[in-house]
Chains A and B, each alone.
Chain A
Amino acid sequence: DTEVTQTPKHLVMGMTNKKSLKCEQHMGHRAMYWYKQKAKKPPELMFVYSYEKLSINESVPSRFSPECPNSSLLNLHLHALQPEDSALYLCASSHKTPFYNEQFFGPGTRLTVL
């Protein structure tokens, strides 16, 4: 299985809602990533988990809260988002060697904040 799956595919939420994005992989990868991508822009790294521990937080606002319950799952909890947070949210995973890491991406969750 060489897939990274993400649910839901689309999400519309109000600014007062709480929702979660889910990501799953069964490739035995021990590094997992969240990216945010605005239209016609490159992906921007948000968080990196390495061996289920948060290793990089790119100064992301606290209304985004990541969680890695086990080596196959990655969640992104959303609360009190702003309309400018509307974007495609991509999850990725990779082997955790020191470097030379090809990343495998999921199809993304398209988030709209009203």
Chain B
Amino acid sequence: SQQGEEDPQALSIQEGENATMNCSYKTSINNLQWYRQNSGRGLVHLILIRSNEREKHSGRLRVTLDTSKKSSSLLITASRAADTASYFCATEGGTGTASKLTFGTGTRLQVTL
């Protein structure tokens, strides 16, 4: 399997704190994406960072990418109870019709009041 690894597997924080999740992958990529999944439901795309980018921001989200270390991190600032979910990194590799996403193992985030 080319699946990436995420750590921590689970993270519990209080509302207002920052949450950091890390993702490592094994092969060369076109881009890396982060998705959120609320319990047992569909995934929602959060942010995409291209292989030639090092950092990207979107609202309370900050993503970094280090292709030399094959790793990425997702920072959620000022967390809210509504951020409670599983977070997956996904790498896109291949080209054209062979392009596909490979998901990491996921981090389960619990934000308490």
Interface residues of A (CB under 8 A from B): 4, 33, 40-45, 48, 50, 53, 55-56, 88, 90, 92, 98-108, 110
Kindly identify which residue among A43, A50, A100, A104 contacts B103, using a CB–CB cutoff of 8 Å. Answer: A43
**3 pairs of A and B residues whose beta carbons are closest in the complex:** A42-B103, A55-B97, A99-B30
The interface residues of chain A lying within 8 Å CB-to-CB of B50 are: 100
Are B106's CB and A42's CB within 8 A? yes
10 A-B residue pairings within 8 Å (CB atoms): A41-B106, A42-B104, A55-B98, A98-B96, A99-B95, A100-B92, A102-B33, A103-B33, A103-B45, A107-B41
Contact-residue size bin, chain B (C-beta under 8 Å from the other chain): 20 to 34
Report B-chain residues with C-beta under 8 Å of the C-beta of A42: 3, 88, 103-106
Q: B residues bordering A, Cβ < 8 Å?
A: 3, 30-31, 33, 35, 40-45, 48, 50, 88, 92, 94-106, 108
Min distance, Cβ B48 to any Cβ of chain A, angstroms: 6
Assess the B45–A104 pair: CB atoms within 8 A.
Answer: yes
Query: Once bound together, how far apart are the Cα atoms of A88 and B37, in whole Å?
Result: 12
- Of chain B, the residue at the smallest CB distance from A104 is B45
Query: For the complex, what is the distance from the CA of A41 to the CA of B95, rounded to whole Å?
Result: 26
Contact partner, B42, options A50, A102, A107, Cβ 8 Å = A107
